[in-house]
Amino acid sequence: MYQNILRHPGPTPIPQKVQQAMNNNIVSHRSEEFVQFFRETSNRVKPLFGTKQDILLIPSGGTAALEAAAINTVSPGEEVVVITIGAFGDYFVSICEKYGFKVHKLEKEWGQACTEDDLIQFLKPLKNIKAVFATYNETSTGVINPIEKLANVVRTHSDALFIVDGVSCIGGVPGEMDSWGIDILVTGSQKAMMLPPGLSFISVSEKAWKVIENNQTPAYYLNLLTYLEWFAKGMTPNTPAISIIYGLSAVCDLIEAEGFQQTIERHQLMKNMVREGMRALRIGLLTSEEDASPTITAIRAPEGVDLGKYIGHLKQKYYLDFAGGLGKLQGEIFRFGHMGYCFPSDILEAISLMEAGLQDFGYSFEAGAGVKAAQDVFLTKHRN
């Protein structure tokens, strides 16, 4: 059986070094050996968040950490703003409504980012907002929000906490939690962090901890004060994802060896390669250059091609595995993930196989045009 070429927005490919690390023998999560390892490894994640705060590790998917961020800071009946630019922004809306928060929904058209002015104007008539929730990178549309600018708006125009979902980008984009003024930043293991699903990461500002101490929403498994208490002991309050934490140490090795700034630049390069390749093939893109994500590109259906059949054909014949559209974009776009353990050579491979599939469907284009355009982006970068 051939192995799929996984170009999804998550889960993403896992490096061999990480797989090997996760094969280590299991030890007791209360042992002195693991406590030391846990402390060292969690500290090594801090540069990816751009924070001096602790990085709490929760054995869960990213959604649980988003829920933890909400229920530990806001009580029923309190008012929040949720910026939603796609399906995963709507996740935050659903979480907040489930717990009885009064939600003011700042909704943008799918494919567009929220601007500073959008948020300024939205906040003007509102009073007593407890928190503003935003998605850094919207997985469903391939849009990245200007989080640094939005954080500045929240600080300047309200007393609210700024809580950010970084699940599909932290590890591949700049994350400057402390200097930008983010109060809670969350990510998950299975995307740019190059790990299997099952571990989430959350970091909390001093301002947010003070709010959490006075919060009235009950929580047990997701009580962040409990995680903080046990973190001081080098542990989690429950059984941690031991094998994934072994893998996390290997991920830190890889990022440190490459240099995190170089990791960020690699993701930008791959984004540009994909976008130029699609333009050369006359295939539309959902987002503008300004709003385009470095970790995932949303691509429109090639003209005259049945998108569902095309994506299925690529997987069946060429083992190239893309994700389809979500929600209102289902059947209109597919999503090309280029995050984590992904390199320019992987982009060239994927575009080459896309071209082979287009030929199978009788799509008219200059053979090799997409690969050449992407290759030119790569070569130009390395000549400079």
The residue whose two tokens read 């490894």 is 41
Please, which pLDDT band fits residue 150 given cuts at 50, 70 and 90?
very high
- Taking CA atoms, 178 is separated from 49, 184, 261, 372, in Å, by 8, 10, 17, 41
- Among residues 362, 298, 300, 365, the alpha carbon closest in space to that of 86 is found at 298
Domain residue spans in the chain? Answer: 5-10+259-383, 16-256
CATH number for the region 5-10+259-383 comes to 3.90.1150.10
In tens, the pLDDT along 298-332 reads 999 999 999 999 999 999 999 999 999 999 999 99
Residues 6+ apart with CB under 8 A from 376: 276
pLDDT value at 2 more than 80? no
CA distance 270 to 338: 7
Question: Mind giving me the DSSP string for 130-154?
Answer: EEEEEESEETTTTEE--HHHHHHHH
In tens, the pLDDT along 238-282 reads 999 999 999 999 999 999 999 999 999 999 999 999 999 999 999
CA distance 88 to 310: 26
CA distance 129 to 74: 10
Residue 28: CB atoms within 10 Å: 11
pLDDT value at 3 more than 90? no
pLDDT value at 382 more than 90? no
Query: Which of the four CATH numbers 3.40.640.10, 3.30.420.40, 1.10.1200.10, 3.40.50.2000 does domain 16-256 have?
Result: 3.40.640.10
CA distance 150 to 117: 9
CA distance 246 to 184: 25
Give the mean pLDDT of 358-373.
Answer: 97
Task: Characterize the bridge pairing of strands 137-138 and 143-144.
Answer: antiparallel
In tens, the pLDDT along 46-61 reads 999 999 999 999 999 9
